[in-house]
Amino acid sequence: MKRAGKWRILAAIALAAPLASASAASFDCSKALRADEKAICADRHLSEQDVEMATTYRLLSGLFAMGVRGDMQDAQQAWLKQRRACGADRACLEKRYRQRLGALQKLYDGIDKPL
């Protein structure tokens, strides 16, 4: 099985876990204040992307030592600023999620894995 296939299986298992509320977003939608957060909570597809990104980020951050985790946190904060800049623009939000998930996938692909 290819690496990407294994990664998708891992992500599917993680997504099946009860990590999110019924709204599906990775954060509490009742506390959403910003336009991007409200747009994510109002759109099922964006909510699902948010959960996928947050779950992937959490899983990956547990695989690395402190230095890399710090870099990951910095990159995540920078990404959140970019997401916030999208406001309620759905196309912009989708693009940001695709980019972030792609970056996290690259990070995962760079991990040495046993055969």
Per residue, the 3-state secondary structure of 62-91, as one string, reads CCCCHHHHHHHHHHHHHHHHHHHHCCCCHH
Give Cα 41 distance to the centre of its chain: 15
pTM comes to 0.76
**How many residues in the chain?**
115
- Whole-angstrom CA distances from 28 to 23, 33, 37, 51, 101 are 8, 10, 9, 12, 21
Q: What is the DSSP letter of 34?
A: S
- Note the pLDDT tens digit of each residue in 90-105: 999 999 999 999 999 9
Domain ranges of the chain: 3-109
Digit-coded pLDDT (tens) for 45-86: 999 999 999 999 999 988 888 888 899 999 999 999 999 999
